[in-house]
DNA sequence: TGTATTGGATACACAAACGTATTGAACGGG
DNA sequence: CCCGTTCAATACGTTTGTGTATCCAATACA
């Protein structure tokens, strides 16, 4: 029932999906509204009926992907926290599984980070999202260390920042040269050394 | 003497300089040729007299900045290799001092990396540049370890890849929240642990 | 069943950007 | 000293992209 509202939100969702794809392929500025609509199977009429402008779409898309990401994390967390495996496996697993498509996610998030470095409003939104993301990861680290009687000599959040930074840089290298830098190789060779050093 | 050619290359240089600034501010697609010319103090006539198209400019700019970067590194290397300080100080110092403006360099290189992830030609150029960059850093590491009778249990190049990845990710965090993530803090807290572990 | 509303398509106006063609001026060579 | 060339400015045409205004169909509701 209530087909109208559902229809509306469905087209909105398809437009967002199309925007995600086209933005990943050509970047925010490189993609035209027309491109996005075409990808989603609509015309610009549908677009401007759902979004006020392209800028508004960018923000909405960021919010939507952010929400999905955090939701996905929320779903993964319990399993990772309790189940077997090491602390590192849990954290890296979360980073890898949080987004369905690593390449697309990397392109989009990098694009949005660039955008944020040039735009105060976007920066605010991004900072907040990253904070929530870190919070989840930090919580995971705390739970696992507590459960296994581990003590870290550095604040968990700083360790999380390290893992995120390394993961981002490594992913960039991997996407550029998949053959030369196997996925996760840097993380898996060096992070155990860190953990060994900071845990007691 | 020979004013004509020098004049030409001077305007070309100013256009490249303008492009660097405007690209950093608005991104490749966001910046118009007109913007660049205005910044450089010319009109589009000058631009199309020096470059065939915007795409050609992007490549030329990448080459120019790459050349300057490698040249700068070549100038810094001898000092860092012989002089005092630790291995880490040398490597991180090189990464910090190679580009005159960290923020601008990060924006541009990130932008170009995104471009490369979508464009095979750009990818080829970037891969080559990164390889030369790594080579220089690797050489530096090898020289310093040799001079101080150090042995690393991992290939120097892999260590360099680690440092570059971490540096990139950390710089991204720093630029977004300078107050929360002091410049180089992640590198300086965690890389010594790695070095301790892998050196003998 | 008729009417009002809503969502999306079509058509249109306008602005921005790219690239070209032409012009003018300065300098080099004969 | 004049002529040819070269570099950058100006002027122009064309394309692309955004946003608006209008139209049409389908569904909700009376």
- Last residue of one domain, picked from the residues B19, B35, B52: B52
Amino acid A83: pLDDT? 78
Residue from the list A28, A117, A173 with its beta carbon closest to the beta carbon of B165: A173
- pLDDT of A3 reads 59
Whether B188 and B157 map to the same domain: the answer is yes
Q: In this predicted structure, what is the pLDDT of residue A82?
A: 82
* CB neighbour list of residue A61: distance below 8 Å, 6 or more residues apart: A16, A19, A20, A23
Q: What is the pLDDT of residue A193?
A: 98
Contact between A193 and B198 (Cβ < 8 Å): yes
Average pLDDT value for residue range A13-35: 97
Predicted pLDDT of residue B183? 97
Residues A65 and A142 in one domain: yes
* CA nearest to nucleotide D18 C1': residue: A33
Give the residue from A5, A46, A117 showing the smallest Cα distance to A18: A46
- Identify the pLDDT of residue A60: 97
- Same domain membership, residue A97 and residue A29: no
- Pair (A33, A63) in one structural domain: no
Name the band, by pLDDT with cuts 50, 70 and 90, for residue B116: very high
Which pair of structure tokens corresponds to residue A185?
């190789």
Report the CATH number at residue A101: 1.10.357
Q: Are B126 and B113 in contact (CB under 8 A)?
A: yes
Pair A60, A159 in one domain: yes
* Neighboring chain B residues of A113 at a CB cutoff of 8 Å: 110, 172, 176
The mean pLDDT of chain B is 94
Domain endpoint, select from B10, B34, B52: B52
Strand pairing partners for B199? B152
Task: Residue B61: name the closest of B7, B118, B12 by CA.
Answer: B12
Domain coverage including residue A107? 54-198
CA dihedral B44, B50, B51, B52 (to 10 degrees): 90
pLDDT tier for residue A81 given thresholds of 50, 70 and 90: confident
Q: Please check the confidence at residue B114 and state whether its pLDDT lies above 80.
A: yes
- CA B131/CA B21 separation, integer angstroms: 25
Q: Which residues of A touch B (CB under 8 A)?
A: 25-30, 103, 106-107, 110-111, 113-114, 116-118, 123, 126-127, 130, 154, 158, 161-162, 164-170, 172-173, 175-177, 181, 186, 189-190, 193-194, 196-198
What mean pLDDT comes out for the span B109-130? Answer: 97
Is the C-beta atom of B33 closer than 7 angstroms to strand C?
yes
Under a CB-based contact definition with an 8 Å cutoff, are residues A20 and A28 in contact? no
Which of A12, A27, A52 terminates a domain? The answer is: A52
Cα→Cα distances B161→A56, B94, B154, B155, Å: 38, 14, 11, 10
Asked if pLDDT for residue A110 goes beyond 50, the answer is: yes
| 3-class SS of residue A82 | helix
Contact between B169 and A167 using a beta-carbon 8 Å cutoff? yes
In the prediction, which pLDDT does A85 show? 75
Q: For chain A, how many structural domains are there in total?
A: 2
Q: Which uninterrupted H or E stretch holds A67?
A: helix A54-82
Residues on chain A touching B158 (C-beta within 8 angstroms): 186, 189
B interface mutation test: which of A166, A171, A184, A195 has the most B CBs within 10 A?
A166
| Tokens 């589009």 sit on residue | B44
| CATH code of residue B15 | 1.10.10.60
Residue B64 sits in the same domain as residue B8 = no
Percentage of chain B exceeding pLDDT 70: 96
B1 CB closer than 7 A to any strand C atom = yes
- Tell me, yes or no, whether B62 and B22 share the same domain: no
* Percent of residues, chain A, with pLDDT higher than 90: 92
| Measured CA distances, B177 to A121, A131, B108, B167, B170 (Å) | 14, 11, 19, 15, 11
pLDDT band at A2; cut points 50, 70, 90: very low
Tokens of B144: 């310093």
Q: Which of the residue ranges A7-16, A127-136, B113-122 would you say has the lowest mean pLDDT?
A: A7-16
Lowest mean pLDDT across A77-91, A180-194, B164-178: A77-91
* B30 CA: nearest nucleotide by C1': C17
Interface contact flag, A190 B110, Cβ < 8 Å: no
- B6 and B90, same domain (yes or no): no
CA–CA distance, B73 with B75 (Å, rounded to integer): 5
Within this chain, do residues A109 and A16 fall inside the same structural domain, yes or no?
Answer: no
> Over pLDDT 70: what percentage of chain A?
96
Q: Are B87 and B108 in contact (CB under 8 A)?
A: no
Confidence label for B7 from pLDDT (cuts 50, 70 and 90): low
- A167/B168 Cβ within 8 A: no
What is the distance in angstroms between the Cα of A20 and the nearest Cα belonging to chain B?
15
A14 & A105 share domain: no
Task: Give the C-alpha separation, A16 to B125, whole Å.
Answer: 33
pLDDT for res B5: 60
Residues B84 and B102 both lie in one domain:
yes
Q: Are residues B132 and B176 in the same domain?
A: yes
Q: What are the residues facing B152 on neighbouring strands?
A: B199
Are A168 and B172 a contacting pair at CB < 8 A? yes
Across the range A112-132, mean pLDDT stands at 97
> Tell me: the pLDDT tens digits for A171-197?
999 999 999 999 999 999 999 999 999
Instruction: With cut-offs at 50, 70 and 90, classify the pLDDT of residue B2.
Output: very low
Cα(B84)–Cα(B79) distance, integer angstroms: 9
How does pLDDT run across B15-52, given as a tens digit for each residue?
999 999 999 999 999 999 999 999 999 999 999 999 99
Q: Which of A113, A166, A176 sits opposite B166 (nearest CB)?
A: A166
- pLDDT tens sequence across B53-105: 999 999 999 999 999 999 999 999 998 988 777 999 999 999 999 999 999 99
């Amino acid at each position: 029932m209530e087909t109208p509202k559902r229809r509306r939100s469905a087209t909105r969702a398809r437009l967002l999906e199309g925007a995600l794809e086209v933005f990943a392929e050509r970047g925010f500025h490189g993609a035209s509204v027309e491109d996005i609509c075409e990808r989603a199977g609509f015309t610009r009429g549908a677009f401007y009926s759902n979004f006020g402008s392209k800028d508004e779409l960018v923000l909405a898309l960021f919010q939507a992907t952010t929400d999905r990401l955090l939701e996905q994390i929320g779903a993964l967390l319990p399993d990772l926290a309790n189940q077997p495996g090491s602390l590192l496996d849990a954290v890296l697993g979360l980073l890898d599984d949080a987004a369905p498509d690593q390449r697309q996610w990397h392109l989009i998030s990098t694009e949005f980070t660039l955008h944020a470095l040039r735009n105060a409003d976007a920066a605010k939104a991004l900072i907040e999202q990253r904070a929530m993301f870190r919070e989840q990861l930090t919580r995971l680290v705390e739970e696992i260390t507590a459960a296994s009687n581990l003590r870290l000599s550095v604040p968990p959040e700083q360790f999380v920042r390290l893992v995120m930074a390394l993961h981002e840089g490594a992913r960039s290298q991997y996407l550029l040269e998949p053959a030369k830098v196997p996925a996760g190789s840097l993380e898996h060779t060096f992070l155990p050394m860190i953990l060994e050093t900071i845990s007691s």
